[in-house]
Every structure is written in structure tokens, then in C-alpha cells.
Amino acid sequence: MEKTIKASIIENENLNPLISIITVNFNHNEYTLLMLRSLKKCTYKNIEIIVVDNASYVDNLTEIEDEFPEAKLVRLANNLGFAGGNNEGLKYATGDYILLLNNDTEVDPGFLEPLIETFHTNSDAGIVSPRLMYFYSPDMNTIQYAGTTPINLKTGRNKSIGNNEIDRGQYNYVCKTAYANGAALMFSRKMLETVGCMPDVYFLYYEELDWCVAAQKKGFNIYYAGTSKVYHKGSITVGVNGPIRKYYMARNRILFLRRNADLFTLVISMVFFFSVSYPIAHYRMIKNKEVGLLKYFIRGVFWNFTHFKGVKAFPQIHFSENKIPELTNVSSHFKENSQFIDNIKK
């Protein structure tokens, strides 16, 4: 792994906040353990770790409990997806800042200090993501994420900055960006209390983008901190190009537009989607001999024309003294999503 990024010096207690780190595990203890072991090497020590198990049916959690007894382990009875799982973890987080970290990542030992420093030097910061690197690239030196451009609400498209570029230090800076990356994002408790939790109706994909939009509407800005680095293995749970990814990427692209575009722009975006994006997607799947995935893509698209109730809500977290916080306005689609995942996985 690349030489550790030099940690910023934190000189007093004010600049030494407690960081709650939440990760969601689903059937992949081995990756969660590797991620937790990398966290143990962190130079910043004022952290608490919360592992949310999303109703795994392959692994038991004994290994995690035995090796990391200090971690809070939250067992869910049902698979609540990425947003739902993380939102459950928020109920147990006591930190000043909260980091959502995919279990298929490994971190640079000095990655936390630059994230904290970004908040301390930018009072408008609500969410911050580090530079993400492809773990399996040569020398782990290929960039996955160095910020993004905004999604064009007429086309549903945007660009990930730096993706697939060799890292030569060209993105080693801090700046505002359109969206954080869900593989690793830190946010302030103030942002959480103002905006609410991640929209769990997405289940997988696009939820952090929508959350960033909501934060920006409340006056917060999103930052990319290229001075911090995390290595991402990617798509361990759902596969690089399998039916789960096809379904939720198609479904949630339209759902994002439904939640964030005005009616006139939404009509334009649907005309563009069905006249350009939809036929192109069909052509590519046929060309790439992925005909078996077509039904999942189509099913994901047309979910949006059969589901109208409760798709625009934001879950809220309610704190009370000496009690576990409660979540309200949660999605009513968890059972449907969980059954879909189980049918694919089993």
C-alpha cells in the first residue's frame, strides 16, 4: 500500500472529536474483518466502530465479535439495504462526526485527520468524501473517485472526476463537489439533525447522491478531500454487472429524477430516457451477450410506474435521553427489496 499520507497534527481536545464509524456487513465477514484490521492501524484513535449485520444468512458473526470485542454489533432481522442498514447504525452512534465506510474498503492509516481538518477549516461542510482508489488496480494506484459533476436532471447523467486515471497527485487537494461517494463519506451531527437520514427507499445506489442534494438545499456543502485516501474493492455484495446492480441502477436513476426534478424537467428527462438511454442500454446488453439481464433492467425501470406512495420521504432520527433513538418515515418497500435480493442470491 502507498506510503501513509502524512496525518495532520491535532493539537488540542477541541480538534480531537469522537468519530463514529459505521459499516454494513452482508454475507462477507472476510472483507469486513480486513476493513476492521485496517482501521486498527489508524493514527487517529478517538473512534468508535459500529458493525451492522444486514440479516446475513451465510456467515455467523463470531469471528468479528472475537477479534473486535470493542465494536458495537447490531444484528438486523431483515435486510434493509445500504441506506437502511446505515440508518440503523446511526441509532448507536455517539460521535461528533459519523463516517459511513463500506466493508469492502481498506483505509490509509492517516485517512481520518484530513477529513476532520476539512470540517474544521470549512464551516459550511456537511458531508466529506476522501479520494477513492481501486484496490485491485496495479499498485493500487488507479483513481475511482475524486469528486463528481452534478447530475443533469434532463438526461440523468453526470461524470465521476478522476475515474480510471493513474494517481500522480493531480487530485491531492480539497474542494467543493456535487456529491460524496457512499463507499466512504463523513458527515457532521449537525447535518444529520438538520437534514435527516439517508433516503432508504433507494435500498441500493443513488441514496447518497439524493442525500447530498438534500444537504445542499439546507445550506450545507459537499467536499472532496483528496488529502485522504481509501482503497475500494467494489461490488463485493452485488457483483460488478449482475442482476441486482442492473435492477437498482435502472430503478434508482429514474427515482432520483422523480424526487429531485420539477414536473417539466421530469417530462423532458423521461422523453430523453426512453428515446435515447433505454434503447442504448438494450443494444449494449444484447451486444455484450447479457440478454439475461434485460428483464432486470426493464423491471427496474417500470417499478417507477407502479410505485407512488412513500417514495419521497426522508427517514428522521429522534433522540431521547437514556433510550435508543427511533427512526420514523422509513421506507415501506423493505420486504419487497429483501425478497428480491434473497431470490437472486439463493
CA nearest to 49, candidates 33, 63, 62, 60:
33
Q: What pairs with residue 230 in β-bridges?
A: 107, 132
Structural domain for 36, as ranges = 13-238
Ramachandran quadrant class, 182 (left: phi over 0; alpha: psi -120 to 50; beta: rest)? alpha
Number of domains in the chain: 1
Rg of the chain, C-alpha, whole Å: 20
pLDDT at 334: 78
Distances (CA, A) of 121 to 61, 92, 214, 244, 303: 39, 27, 22, 40, 43
Q: Looking at the domain assignment, is residue 306 inside a domain?
A: no
Q: Looking at the domain assignment, is residue 256 inside a domain?
A: no
Give me the residues of the chain with pLDDT under 50, please: 1-13
pLDDT at 11: 41
Q: Looking at the domain assignment, is residue 331 inside a domain?
A: no
**Residues 68 and 103: beta-carbon distance below 8 Å:** no
Angle at 192 between CA 335 and CA 328, to 5 degrees: 35
- What are the two backbone dihedrals, phi and then psi, of residue 227, each rounded to the nearest 5 degrees? -85, -5
Q: Looking at the domain assignment, is residue 34 inside a domain?
A: yes
Per-residue pLDDT tens over the stretch 202-232: 999 999 999 999 999 999 999 999 999 999 9
Q: Looking at the domain assignment, is residue 257 inside a domain?
A: no
Pairing mode, strands 184-188 and 174-177: unpaired
pLDDT at 333: 82
Q: Looking at the domain assignment, is residue 336 inside a domain?
A: no
pLDDT at 5: 36
**Residues 24 and 82: beta-carbon distance below 8 Å:** yes
pTM: 0.92
Q: Looking at the domain assignment, is residue 298 inside a domain?
A: no
Per-residue pLDDT tens over the stretch 34-92: 999 999 999 999 999 999 999 888 767 889 999 999 999 999 998 999 999 999 999 99
Q: Looking at the domain assignment, is residue 303 inside a domain?
A: no
**Residues 316 and 198: beta-carbon distance below 8 Å:** no
Domain of 28, CATH number, reads: 3.90.550.10
